[in-house]
Structure 1
């Protein structure tokens, strides 16, 4: 099967499962991993813009929050909000491109595990979040140790496609002015952007969804140029 066809079928299967009655529960570890990347997108964008990233919270209901401090301008505030919305897609596309070859697949799994452990030490502040990230780090390290190179690359692509498609499950959130985090109502990221700039929140939600879809198609196009094949030696 051509790599582009495999990626498209994997993406379609994940999108379909997410729409089934218990689909999000079946993909719960991957769904919450996308939440983690979303919150890291907020926090790292804040750091890049000279603000302080204080902590990240992940909750069992699949929600999360990045807490940052500083005195940003209107554009910086909008960019920090957009960093969370686009973070999973950007991370997913990067993984798709990097996993196009099996050469460094297992090393990349180790790098991802180390990133999770580092974010635990620096920013994760609640018990559930710490436990979730630790489990994922262990799974990635075990996969790097025991999976063949082709299997490691396929695992990376599964994670990448899930991250790229997380915007699809967040469409209601993108086109809403509010969000519920651990039972508490907050402004949505789209509403934060709208308040910082101009135009309504649904415009910014639609723009982010469009950018996410275009980035996904670009990532699949680039990644499918290099088929995932196991290395052979004589």
Structure 2
């Protein structure tokens, strides 16, 4: 336990600005290169559904389970009032979640606690695992958790910091990119059950307004996270 605590609380400097920009390019490639994005977008789905579940619990709803599917879609089921502020916040959280987590990771890296931030992320995955209700979702979270544990336990602090920074960049960039993908699907009429459309049905506010709010929030997180990482 002493060894674990020393590793988790170690202070590590972030890479210099040139290294930070290089890691940002690596993260961008994981999004813009389609063969890689087909795999890495599953990580975005994990964060998306985890954000739904966390906010559902925070607003007093009862979480009934989370499913992750092979087409990178997901479903979070919570029980409570079908309308109202709690349901609105729960639906809003999904697409904003990756960018918000990206800011949190960026804050950890900026403060020198990148290793501890990775350990907290591992704990979050372990808690999420308790809510998974299908085999594919179980495999995705387990593989993610094993990979993250290997990083936090066997790599040296410098490599851990670089990986934490890359994950932060990836989530910051994936937030708005996922929303662009969503809008394309909505425009093609193949996403009638999307979060913005569900929000439109329960509030009467057009789905495009809700999408715009999510998109601007993600862009704000990208700007704030980038400033922390580049600082």
1:53 and 2:38 aligned: no
> Structure 1 residues 179, 127: closer, same or farther in 2, change over 3 A?
farther
TM-score (norm 1): 0.81
**Which of 152, 156, 168 does residue 144 from structure 1 map onto?**
152
> Structure 1 residues 40, 17: closer, same or farther in 2, change over 3 A?
closer
Task: Report the Cα distance in structure 1 between the residues aligned to 2:96 and 2:123, rounded to whole angstroms.
Answer: 22
Tell me which residue corresponds to 2:6: none
Task: Report the Cα distance in structure 2 between the residues aligned to 1:80 and 1:179, rounded to whole angstroms.
Answer: 23
Alpha-carbon offset, residue 188 of structure 1: 0.5
Tell me which residue corresponds to 1:231: none
Alpha-carbon offset, residue 152 of structure 1: 0.5
Tell me which residue corresponds to 1:205: 211
Alpha-carbon offset, residue 169 of structure 1: 3.1
Structure 2, gaps ≥5 residues long: 1-13
2:115/2:164 contact within 8 Å kept? no
Structure 1, gaps ≥5 residues long: 226-234
In the comparison of the two structures, how many residue pairs are matched? 216
**Which of 97, 116, 124 does residue 107 from structure 1 map onto?**
116
Structure with the larger helix share: 2
1:178/1:187 contact within 8 Å kept? no
Tell me which residue corresponds to 1:22: 35
CA RMSD in angstroms, aligned pairs only: 2.5
1:1-234 equivalences under 5 Å are 3-4=16-17, 6-25=19-38, 28=39, 30-71=40-81, 73-102=83-112, 104-121=113-130, 123-167=131-175, 168-174=177-183, 176=186, 187-225=193-231
Task: Report the Cα distance in structure 2 between the residues aligned to 1:174 and 1:43, rounded to whole angstroms.
Answer: 23
Question: Which stretches of structure 1, 4 residues or longer, exceed 6 Å deviation after superposition?
Answer: 177-180
SS of equivalent residue, structure 1 residue 22: helix
Alpha-carbon offset, residue 197 of structure 1: 2.4
> Structure 1 residues 119, 204: closer, same or farther in 2, change over 3 A?
same
